[in-house]
Amino acid sequence: MSAFQPGAAPPPPGGMMMQPGGPGPGNQPPATNDPNAPGAVGQDASKQQDPKPVESSSSFQVMVTGELEGAQLGSSGRGPLMCVFSFQCGNDWSVVQGHTQGITQLATSAHPTTKVSGLFHGDPREVVWNFPLGVTYKTTNAFGWPRLIVSVYGTDLCNRRVIKGYGSIHVPCSPGRHERIIRLFRPISSSWLVRFLGWLLGSPAQFVDPRIIGGTDGREVVRVQSGGKVKVVFNVLSKGHKDFNYDLGGA
């Protein structure tokens, strides 16, 4: 006996009954605007395309490399020479990496003079150090731009270490490779007697703090004498200076 009731819809072929609202070809789940729901139609795809905010620099950097190539002191350059150097900068500058001071090796000219006059006039040939330089600074303004200070020492007739000359020069502002000549000078005593005693005792006039030559305080009362030159090579790189409206130009 069939279970079919009079007045009811006939069952589908195969004897399967479809429940109202159940899965089927005409009963797909409605679209939702919930962005957290899987497969949501209204999900904001622009969140994945938003560019990262540009971080503004709080400082710009200046990297200085190069080398102290050598010195030529003329009549005062007899014997081995060495150079004590340091970088001096303003209060707003801080060191990121590298060394701000150092001492080169003792060096003499490649071909020492064989003339007797060389004992009195010195060797005009250049003394080569080729000592590397390398330091990186960061700052917020260009005031107090780094300056290189050098102090050249040698020996006298009694093999005593004496000062041969001081010098300083600003690090070039523009990026690139730069060759510079530092003119040296040394202080002299105010009287001939003190000068003679300094030569006799191996203690000529010299600065207590060589950093004084990097400034202007007290320089007007110092008597000096020229004393040769030092050749130095700078390789300068800068980063972030345009954020502070500085145009350092090119080499």
pLDDT-based confidence at residue 251 (cuts at 50, 70, 90): very low
Question: What is the distance between the alpha carbons of residues 19 and 26, in angstroms, rounded to a whole number?
Answer: 12
**What is the reported pTM?**
0.69
The answer to whether the CB of 237 falls within 8 A of the CB of 62 is yes
| Domain range 60-213+222-244, CATH class | mainly beta
Residue 228 has pLDDT above 70, yes or no: yes
Q: What is the pLDDT of residues 118-151, one digit of tens each?
A: 555 555 678 999 999 999 999 998 899 999 999 9
pLDDT of residue 92: 92
Range 21-42 average pLDDT: 53
Structure tokens of 3? 């279970």
Among 53, 136, 67, which residue's Cα sits nearest to residue 105?
A: 67
The letter for the amino acid at 173 is: C
The domain ranges of the chain are 60-213+222-244
pLDDT of residue 236: 95
What does residue 120 show for φ and ψ, rounded to 5 degrees? -110, -30
Mean pLDDT, the chain, whole residue set: 78
Residue 89 has pLDDT above 90, yes or no: yes
What does residue 100 show for φ and ψ, rounded to 5 degrees? -95, -5
Alpha carbon distances (Å) from 15 to 12, 19, 23, 53, 225: 6, 13, 17, 64, 119
Other beta carbons less than 10 A from residue 224's beta carbon: 15
Q: Which of 15-19's residues contact partners 24+ apart within 8 Å by CB, and which partners?
A: none
Question: What is the distance between the alpha carbons of residues 30 and 36, in angstroms, rounded to a whole number?
Answer: 15
Range 174-182 average pLDDT: 95
Residue 117 has pLDDT above 60, yes or no: no
